[in-house]
Structure 1
Amino acid sequence: MIWIDRLNSFSPYDYGALSLLVVGWFWIGWRIEHPPAHKPSVSLIMAEFRHDWMKQMVTRQPRMFDAQLIGSFRQGTTFLASAVMIAIGGGLALIGNLEPLESVASDLTLEHVPTFVWEIKILVVLLFLSNAFLKYLWAHRLFGYSSVMMAAVPNEPEEPLTYPRADQAADLCNTASRSFTRGMRATYFALAAVAWLAGAVPLIIATLLTIAMLYRREFASQSRTTLLKVPPDTAS
């Protein structure tokens, strides 16, 4: 009965907004990773470029550029994982002391909201941040695997294992990048979930804006147009 009474503290708009947040998160992720064949996402286009990168790496001597590039990927994942961990710590600390949040909210809404409601809203943000943190950690590990596989690629193009090893390195790098991208999406939706603190309508607006932003970047951005440009045939 206590839990039923607590759940009644949320309005139907709250449940609808939360459902939109979760469904939108799953939908945009599925759409980006499984786009129609005639309209690939930036993520899938970049996956093909990573395979081209590993093929070019075979004949590049020395491979310092490749090592620096994969190292920058690991630094980026480390930075974001650290930032998310700090945000998670801040959220847990806020749950332990909700008085500042309650005072600000009371000034804005002029109504009393049960402490349980604030805890649930913050927990939703923390769940998205936790998912992002785990994705960043796994991406960091996979980029490490990619660097080892890149080092295992033979220097001679004529060797039988050269290009199969290069394809393996590209596949590992693509898997790491996919995990990294999923972590970024979870971070975006965590920021959208913060809007729930202001109410259901702000959460709906923030969710729709987040979905629209991710869709535009993957399917209608200037960077995608650049990636799809076919270079002129310099041989002719």
Structure 2
Amino acid sequence: MNFMMVLTTLSWLDALALAAILLAWGGLGAWIEAENVARPSVTVLMAHYRRAWMEELINRDGRVFDATILTNLRQGTAFFASGAMLATGGLLTLIGNSDQLIVVARDLTLEEETALIWQIKLLLTVVLLTQAVLRFVWSNRLFGYCAVLMAAVPNDPTDPRALPRAGKAAEINIRAAFNFNRGMRAIYFALGSLAWLLGPVPLIAAVLVISYVIWNRDFASASREVMLSDGEQL
């Protein structure tokens, strides 16, 4: 299956729906991670609190609390990575079994389509899930780097190495969080991409719904209002 074959196999409406989900996925990610904007996202607001966390780390005698938080963050990345890997394996098995794929296709829609069309549609979900796995795995590793940097922060506020090392730990922690969020967005759009099995119009509708859900959680959620409720300057 080459790129030209894909283009000639898909209808113009299918191509439009495919472009819509890819643009929404990439565009929302760039919007959410933009820092110098009038209305920052929850992701950006949390980055400020992550920096504050590492600054407080310098003055904390017992760092068990910090270690517990970081362990929980790493466990979250491992959980989602393993789940996405299992889903990817299941879809690849289905794509490789043309007969079973046709049976599933006939159960989902009344339209007569070739196995190639269904393989292309499921391949989009596989690509999104694979991207999620890679993001979660990298996020897990970055949280590991962060743990080492945190351990290297002197427990003495007067030590000239303390603040710079805490700053490095914060930036690595932020990068880990960004990658985790990218993985989550890939999961959201992977779920939405399954609507393509019902046709291009359901896929476009799913893209709109998923985009709104992601936008609402980062720009209009109650949690965001809580972060800004006391007028604290971040």
Q: TM-score scaled by structure 1?
A: 0.93
Does 1:114 find its partner at 2:110?
A: no
Q: CA deviation at 1:222?
A: 0.4
User: 1:166/1:114 Cα in 2 relative to 1: closer, same or farther (>3 Å)?
Assistant: same
Q: Is the 8 A contact 2:28 2:211 kept in 1?
A: yes
User: 1:126/1:68 Cα in 2 relative to 1: closer, same or farther (>3 Å)?
Assistant: same
For the aligned residues, what is the CA RMSD? 1.8
For 1:14, what is the secondary structure of its paired residue?
helix
User: 1:156/1:172 Cα in 2 relative to 1: closer, same or farther (>3 Å)?
Assistant: same
1:128-154 CA-partner distances (Å, limit 9, x unpaired) = 111111111110000000000000000
What is residue 134 of structure 2 aligned with on the other side? 134
User: 1:107/1:231 Cα in 2 relative to 1: closer, same or farther (>3 Å)?
Assistant: closer
What is residue 24 of structure 2 aligned with on the other side? 24
What is residue 94 of structure 1 aligned with on the other side? 94
Q: CA deviation at 1:59?
A: 1.3
Q: CA deviation at 1:36?
A: 5.4
Which amino acid is the alignment partner of residue 156 of structure 1? Answer: D
Q: Is the 8 A contact 1:9 1:114 kept in 2?
A: no
User: 1:189/1:52 Cα in 2 relative to 1: closer, same or farther (>3 Å)?
Assistant: same
Q: CA deviation at 1:7?
A: 4.0
Give, in whole Å, the separation in 2 of the partners of 1:100 and 1:204: 26
User: 1:14/1:175 Cα in 2 relative to 1: closer, same or farther (>3 Å)?
Assistant: same
Unaligned regions of 5+ residues in structure 2, if any? Answer: none
Unaligned regions of 5+ residues in structure 1, if any? Answer: none
Which amino acid is the alignment partner of residue 192 of structure 1? Answer: G
Q: CA deviation at 1:58?
A: 1.2
Q: CA deviation at 1:103?
A: 2.3
For 1:54, what is the secondary structure of its paired residue?
helix
Which amino acid is the alignment partner of residue 176 of structure 1? Answer: A
What is residue 39 of structure 1 aligned with on the other side? 39
Q: TM-score scaled by structure 2?
A: 0.93
Q: CA deviation at 1:55?
A: 1.1
Does 1:60 find its partner at 2:60?
A: yes
User: 1:102/1:78 Cα in 2 relative to 1: closer, same or farther (>3 Å)?
Assistant: same
User: 1:164/1:93 Cα in 2 relative to 1: closer, same or farther (>3 Å)?
Assistant: same
User: 1:224/1:115 Cα in 2 relative to 1: closer, same or farther (>3 Å)?
Assistant: same
**Structure 2 matches for 1:112-191, cutoff 5 A?**
112-191=112-191
Give, in whole Å, the separation in 2 of the partners of 1:38 and 1:5: 44
Does 1:229 find its partner at 2:229?
A: yes
What is residue 77 of structure 1 aligned with on the other side? 77
Task: Count the aligned residue pairs.
Answer: 231
1:15-40 CA-partner distances (Å, limit 9, x unpaired) = 11000000111110011011552201
